[in-house]
Structure 1
Amino acid sequence: MKNNNLIKILDCTLRDGGYVNNWEFSLESTKAIVKALIDSNIEIVECGFVNQKHKNSSDSTVFSEISQVNELLLSLDRDIESTDFCVMVNKGDLDIDSLPSYNKKSGPVNMIRYAFHRKDWREALDDIEILIEKKYRVYVQPMVTLSYSDTELLEMLTEVNKYNVYAMYIVDSFGAMFGDDFRRLHYLFENNLKKHIRLGYHSHNNLQLAYSNAIDFIQIKDFEREIIIDSSIQGMGRGAGNLTTELIANFLNKKKSTEYNIVPLLEIIDKYLESIYRENYWGYSIAHFLSASFNCHPNYSTFLVNKKNLSIVDIQKILGLLDNGEKKNFNKHRIEELYLNFKSNVDLPINFSVDFFKDQNILVLAPGPSLISQKENVEKFINTKKPLTIAVNHIPKNFKPSYFFFSNQKRYDKFIEEIEPEKAIITTNIHVNSDSSNYKVVDYNTLATKTSNKNDNVTILLLNLLIDQKVKEVYLAGFDGYKFDSDNYSYTEYDRIVERKVMEQQNENIIVSLNELREKLSINFITDSVYK
């Protein structure tokens, strides 16, 4: 291997890429990825997390002990002497005192990347000192480096200089660094970090700047200092993903005369990662742009975007309600609270009669494709039972509903011009452009908080309304449930959920809500559904 000794690539596919598939790499794929990285001459391979709270599995790259990583590496049919291997430990996930000291005879893992949040950096240095005493090469990983003030960074660098750490990192956890942000941090680190300490850069690609910032890092590096650039194969990583290993390796081959072998990386993409990518997309998205713009944890914006009922302006307003202390760590309860409060904070007057649906025989027409594929079943039911029909968040192609129930602003905006106002029932979160007295209005917050999981799926909201109206029995058509790789709507809908995990979670939430509602309401399906 003839690579530049002062520029090294650290591949983090098995660790950071694991956020995509919950670290469920099969033993076969894990070994194949490590061997491909060795064959590609990548200098440093990160094998995963070590977390003593985790129950170890041979098909996972979260390990409970470093010995398990060593055992895996020693089983490879490769010469591993020329490659360095590391693991990441998040502060609090491992009892540092009980960790065995590094012994070359035990295995090749001699590097630990120790990650911590801003509030914990002083305590983290105590753990780092112990790791160094145990003969490990320690990478210092201050997550969300942009969240530190210059004064805090200078203080931390001064303290880090007192230890014999192997590397100090600039960590762009939220992919929020522009070029000038990176250069400012690089200047601080470069001019205040001892020369023997390597400088690393870990990026995320929310703003699509990981590649350009990495090239900038290479071009402005100090001649004497070794630098480490983190990347992952195919950019695999949570959300918008990471710097792409094959791209940065190719750049170094072209511009720095290194000899990285790109083909084994492409083979891994073709054989293993492409299928994961199709089921668990990573890459640029609106959600990741928004998280970078607000410098907040990407799960906040992803949660709101996946609701599929908020405008971008509304999402920005909700993200703007997070204070700086809340932005760094995802708190699902907090974002659910902000979401619910935002949608409940409206002035639309409630004018719906408390017994409007009382004693009615009711059929709900949800927008699933079975409304078309099983049209005959629905028509037969309507002709026989003569029910009052309520379409939710859409206009059915083959039926003429008695009423239309809308709780989703986007769907309302799409269909409302085709609906007679006196047939529209809307929730109070809907913004209307005409006289609201033309519509029947029900309270969103009341309906959305009736189930334990505060489910505001439109059909669940309507069922809650029917229960309030003393309805005892209801029939459902087109409430199919979400299916991956299927058209989940009976009409053309572009603004839809596409990720398998999100679909599965939506289905689980609806099942929980339906089980609660069945105690108060007889729910009958006349078309196929995953919720039966």
Structure 2
Amino acid sequence: MGRIQLLDCTLRDGGYINDWCFGESAIKDITDKMVQSGVDIVEIGFLKNEPYQKDRCVFNSVEQVKKVIGKKKEGVKYAVMCEVVNPLPLELLAPADKDSADIIRVIIWKTKHDEQGNVVDALQEGFEYCKGIVEKGYKLCVQPARVSQYSDKEFVAMVKQFSILNPLAIYVVDSWGTQNPENLLHYMHLADENMPKHISLGYHGHNNMMQALAAAQTMIHEKFQRDIIIDASVYGIGRGAGNLNIEIIAKYMNEQCGKQYDIEKILRIYENYIKDVYAIEPWGYSIPFYLTARYECNPNYARYCIKNELPISLFENALKKLNAFDKIIYSPKILEDIRK
């Protein structure tokens, strides 16, 4: 059995809740406390080509990231994320050095829509961007969004294609929380059987159907003969209904895997910062998020439903009528029309 590692994505995925505005001191303190907890990988935020604000964990240069990291702790890896459809241009990315983030995780898309609304392939674009990340000296994690959209043949082809880059990890990503543990384990085995053993297998899940914990536990007990990485966040803060709760999976890994994560440090992050975010903009399981997962729709529809107190029956009927494009690309006008 390979190593099991835990990655904290509180600042990055949690930023979907508060537009990444945690505050300058909070960003640094959350990072420091998570490092002190013994978590294996700490993800600090996004790299994007947009103006930098010190109170947001969205960065447009490696130097900004270095200031948050400070002096690195031995045994901990530091990560940031890019999205290939809105990336930081490679020419603006400084090469990796001993003080920079160790890992860049890249969200790749299977397809995207061009300016005319046509569906076009996006994997090759993702491959070229990831190749540039590796050439800059960073460890690469490949994050294929919405794993459920891939057929088995397509998923295997994607895994083989990106394995050429020798990434640190290739992930199974349940972006919208639509998959049960059995479905996710199927994709995990496809990846495991079709990539070299030195590449880690990652899992990133969301809780729209309350499946993230069960999926992570299933992955742990499958005892893959390669390293695995499991993503989680404090109190599950994250897009849609949120992520796997790090305080829960860390306790489970302490008990079942011989880990020694300091959960008190994680609870201090919740107490000092996350509970205040939750009070303003709550997340978590609800029937609207369940329905967006059931009909495989963008979870932003659920957030609109909750904020505007749409009747569940009307909301479900609207989701049933969405075409393939509107399921993926959130359009509030669709729900605004049913309120008239």
Letter matched to residue 122 of structure 1: Q
- Per-residue displacement from partner, 1:431-489 (whole Å, max 9, x unpaired)? xxxxxxxxxxxxxxxxxxxxxxxxx5xxxxxxxxxxxxxxxxxxxxxxxxxxxxxxxxx
* Aligned mates of 2:2, 2:152 — CA distance in 1: 30
Q: Which of 215, 220, 223 pairs up with 1:221?
A: 223
* Aligned mates of 1:82, 1:260 — CA distance in 2: 13
**Deviation of 1:308 (Å):** 2.7
| C-alpha contact 2:288 2:306 (8 A) present in aligned 1 | yes
- Per-residue displacement from partner, 1:181-200 (whole Å, max 9, x unpaired)? 11211121111121111110
Letter matched to residue 16 of structure 2: Y
**Deviation of 1:95 (Å):** 0.7
- Per-residue displacement from partner, 1:7-37 (whole Å, max 9, x unpaired)? 0000000000111111111111111111111
Residues 41-190 of structure 1 aligned to structure 2 (within 5 Å): 41-53=38-50, 55-74=51-70, 80-91=73-84, 92-104=86-98, 107-119=99-111, 120-190=122-192
Query: Are 1:290 and 2:291 an aligned pair?
Result: yes
* SS across alignment from 1:201: strand
Q: Which runs of 4+ in 1 moved over 4 A?
A: none
* Aligned mates of 1:248, 1:62 — CA distance in 2: 26
Residues 395-434 of structure 1 aligned to structure 2 (within 5 Å): none
Q: Give TM-score scaled by structure 2 length.
A: 0.92
Counterpart for residue 9 of structure 2: 12
Q: 1:331 to 1:96 in 2, by over 3 A?
A: farther
* SS across alignment from 2:12: coil
Higher RCO (Cα < 8 Å, 6 or more apart): 2
Counterpart for residue 302 of structure 1: 303
Counterpart for residue 328 of structure 2: 328
Letter matched to residue 146 of structure 2: V
* Aligned mates of 1:308, 1:234 — CA distance in 2: 24
Counterpart for residue 192 of structure 1: 194
Query: Are 1:276 and 2:277 an aligned pair?
Result: yes
Counterpart for residue 317 of structure 2: 317
* Aligned mates of 1:301, 1:23 — CA distance in 2: 20
| C-alpha contact 2:47 2:60 (8 A) present in aligned 1 | yes
Counterpart for residue 233 of structure 1: 234
Letter matched to residue 26 of structure 2: S
Letter matched to residue 159 of structure 1: Q
* Aligned mates of 1:324, 1:151 — CA distance in 2: 21
Q: 1:221 to 1:96 in 2, by over 3 A?
A: farther
**Deviation of 1:239 (Å):** 2.7
* Aligned mates of 2:247, 2:9 — CA distance in 1: 13
| C-alpha contact 1:97 1:130 (8 A) present in aligned 2 | no
Q: 1:13 to 1:89 in 2, by over 3 A?
A: same
| C-alpha contact 1:305 1:315 (8 A) present in aligned 2 | no
Structure with higher Rg: it is: 1
Q: 1:227 to 1:23 in 2, by over 3 A?
A: same
| C-alpha contact 2:62 2:100 (8 A) present in aligned 1 | no
* Aligned mates of 1:155, 1:239 — CA distance in 2: 29
Q: Give TM-score scaled by structure 1 length.
A: 0.60
Q: 1:153 to 1:159 in 2, by over 3 A?
A: same
**Deviation of 1:309 (Å):** 4.4
**Deviation of 1:242 (Å):** 0.6
| C-alpha contact 2:61 2:92 (8 A) present in aligned 1 | no
Counterpart for residue 524 of structure 1: none
| C-alpha contact 1:11 1:231 (8 A) present in aligned 2 | yes
* Aligned mates of 1:254, 1:296 — CA distance in 2: 36
Residues 349-368 of structure 1 aligned to structure 2 (within 5 Å): none
**Deviation of 1:323 (Å):** 2.2
Q: 1:157 to 1:270 in 2, by over 3 A?
A: same
